[in-house]
Amino acid sequence: MSGSINYISCGLLWIGLLVKLPGLIRNGSEPSLRAINGVLAFASLCFLFGAPSSVEVINRLSGVPNLAAPLTYASITAYSATLLILIACWRGGPSARRTTRSWLYGYTAVLLGVAILYTLGDATEERRSDFDTYYATAPWISEMVVLYLVAHLTAVTVSAVWSLRWAFEAEVRRLPWLRASLLTIGAGTVISAGYSVSKLVAVIARWTGRDWTVLGTSIPPLCAGLGALLTVVGVLLPVAGHHLSSWRDFFRLAPLDSVLDPVLKERALRVERPRSPLLWGTWRWSTVHNGLLALESHFDERLYDEAFCTELDRTGDSQSATAAAWAVTIAAAVRRSTRPVLGPARLPTRLCHPRDAESLVRIADAVKRSERTVREPDTVEARSL
C-alpha cells in the first residue's frame, strides 16, 4: 500500500473521530462510545505509523533505528483489543463487563510484552518494510513479532466469529442496520486475518531456512488496509443508520405533523426546528408526540374500533388497519379539540396512542393515503366539468 493511501485513510478516520468526539465528551462514561472512538483512533495510528515515510521520520527523529516497528505493532494490538471490547459492549449481557475487562488486561499484557521484548532485543539495522522477516531469527525480536501477530490473529478471529454468528441470530434479523454492521465487521476481520497469517507464514519460512519475504511484505498491507476499512465502516454503520432512519422519519412523519398543526399552534407546542439536520427526525417525532399527548382526552374509542374493523375487513392486514384507524381517530380528535361541539359531549374511553417512531410513521403513511384518496375524486369531478 502506498504512503498516500495510508495518509488518506488516516485522514478519513480522523474525520470520523472528530464527528464522534462530541458524543464521547457528553457521555464519557458510555463504554461503547469509548470503544468506538478507540477503534477509530488506533486504526488511524496503524495507517499513520505504517506508512513508509512515517517509518523514516519516526526512526530519524527518535534516533532509534526501528522504533516505528514497535509503535506500529502497539497500535495494531490496541486496535485489536478495542474492536473486541466494542463487540462485547454491543452484545451486552451479564458477562459483558467481565469479558471486556479480561480482553483489556490481556492486551495490556501484550503491549507490555512488545515493549519489553523490543528493549531486550537488538534491532540496530533499519528495515522499513521487511522488519518481521528480517529479524525473524533474532533473539527477543522474533518473540516480539510472534507475540503481536498471534495477538492480532486471535482478536480478528474472535471478532469474526462473534460478529458473524450474532448477525445470523433471529433477534438481529429484525435490526437491519445492526445486522449489516456485523456482517461488514465480520468480512473486514476475516480479511484482516490475512495480515497476520501471511506474516506468520513468512516468519516460519525464515525459521526453516526459506526466504518468503515477498509474502510478508506484499500481501499484509493489502489485507490490513481493506480489512481495517471494512471493519471501521461496519463500526460506523449503526451510527449512519440511526441518522438515515431519523431523516426518513422526518420526511415520512410530515403528513401526521400537518394534521396535528392546528393543535400544536393553538397550544404553542411547536418548538423551533434545530439547526442541525441530524436532529430533525427527533425534533419531528417529539413534536408529533406532544400533539398526540394533547389530544389524548379527545380520542374516540368507538370511532377507532369502527375504523379498525372497516379497514381490517377491506385489507385483512391488522397492522394496516391499526394505522388507518389511528389516522381517522387523530383527525377527528383534532377537529373536536379545535372546534368544540355545542351540547353534552360523550366522554370517550381514553386510548393510549403509539409512541414508537415505526408505528407513528405507519400512521403518517395512512394519513397520506387518506389525503390522496380524498383528492382523487375531486380531480376526477373537476375534469368531468
Helical packing angle, 52-62 and 31-50, nearest 10°: 90
Q: Please tell me the total number of residues recorded for the chain in this structure.
A: 385
3-state SS track over the chain: CCHHHHHHHHHHHHHHHHHHHHHHHHCCCCHHHHHHHHHHHHHHHHHHHHCHHHHHHHHHHHCCCCCHHHHHHHHHHHHHHHHHHHHHHHHCCCCHHHHHHHHHHHHHHHHHHHHHHHHHCCCCCCCCCCHHHHCCCCCCHHHHHHHHHHHHHHHHHHHHHHHHHHHCCHHHHCCHHHHHHHHHHHHHHHHHHHHHHHHHHHHHHHHCCCCCHHHHHHHHHHHHHHHHHHHHHHHHHHHHHHHHHHHHHHHHCHHHHHHHHHHHHHCCCCCCCCCCHHHHHHHHHHHHHHHHHHHHHHCCHHHHHHHHHHHHHHHCCHHHHHHHHHHHHHHHHHHHHHCCCCCCCCCCCCCCCCCCHHHHHHHHHHHHHHHHHHHHHHHHHHHHC
Residue with cell 519460512: 205
Residue 320 CA to residue 315 CA, distance in Å, equals 8
Question: CA angle at residue 341 from 340 to 345, to 5 degrees?
Answer: 105
pLDDT attached to residue 18 = 83
How many other CB atoms are there within 10 angstroms of residue 210's CB atom? Answer: 11
- Give residue 106's pLDDT: 92
Q: Are 200 and 207 in contact (CB under 8 A)?
A: no
Q: What is the pLDDT of residue 350?
A: 59
Residue ranges in the chain whose pLDDT is less than 70: 1-3, 28, 339-351, 371-385
> pLDDT at position 372, please?
62
